Amino acid sequence: MSFVIATPDMVALAAADLADIGSGLTAANAAAAVPTSGLVAAAADEVSQAIAAVFSSYAQQYQALSAQVAAVQG
């Protein structure tokens, strides 16, 4: 007894939708790369600079991971 119905047209449509989602994510990641990884400290104090560095580091790590995922899905 089969509970899954998959026609070639449905599979092709799903693949196209998945490709569109991937393209959208790639564009969003590219648009967010500079604003998120190049954060400027809100003030000149040590804490503001340290927090900006932490968030910039997270952004750079995310961009690296995102590039690896894009390469796998490529």
- The domain in which residue 58 lies consists of 8-73
CATH number at residue 51: 1.10.287
Task: Please check whether residue 3 lies inside any domain of the structure.
Answer: no
Which two structure tokens, joined as six digits, stand for 44? Answer: 């000149």
Give the model's pLDDT for residue 52.
Answer: 94
- Which residues, 6 or more positions from 73, have their beta carbon under 8 angstroms from its beta carbon? 22
The residue with tokens 């560095």 is 53
Task: Please check whether residue 64 lies inside any domain of the structure.
Answer: yes
- Considering only CA atoms, give the Rg of the chain: 19
Q: What ranges in the chain are assigned the alpha helix state H?
A: 8-37, 46-73
Give pLDDT tens digits for 31-54: 999 888 888 999 999 999 999 999
> Structural domain tally of the chain?
1
The whole-angstrom separation of Cα 66 and Cα 22 is 11
Task: Please check whether residue 1 lies inside any domain of the structure.
Answer: no
Tell me what percent of the residues of the chain surpass a pLDDT of 70.
97
